[in-house]
Amino acid sequence: MALTCNINSKGRMLRLIAGFFIFFGGTILFVTNIPGTGTGWRLFQIFLTLLGVFIMFEGVMGWCAVRAMGIKTKF
């Protein structure tokens, strides 16, 4: 499956910035063990970190998974 560019430069920049903040937030939560250290919270922290990485990947590649599924977005 080829990842064809389906977002403009504004959408790319928005995804890069959002991805960075989500990645940074997930990493901070993971390192500081906030809000807890239970398995559920750890999975949530890891999920946030990986979600941030995926969103940054979308921004770098100029590809949006939601748009690839046929859903229209503003950016």
Asked if residue 22 is part of any domain, the answer here is: yes
Question: For residue 26, which of 10, 42, 38, 39 has the smallest C-alpha distance?
Answer: 42
- Enclosing domain of residue 23: 9-68
Asked if residue 59 is part of any domain, the answer here is: yes
pTM confidence score: 0.89
| pLDDT tens for each residue of the chain, 75 residues long | 678 898 999 999 999 999 999 999 999 999 998 888 899 999 999 999 999 999 999 999 999 999 989 999 887
Asked if residue 74 is part of any domain, the answer here is: no
Torsion sign, CA atoms 39, 56, 17, 6: negative
Q: How many domains does the chain have?
A: 1
Asked if residue 43 is part of any domain, the answer here is: yes
pLDDT of residue 55: 97
Asked if residue 4 is part of any domain, the answer here is: no
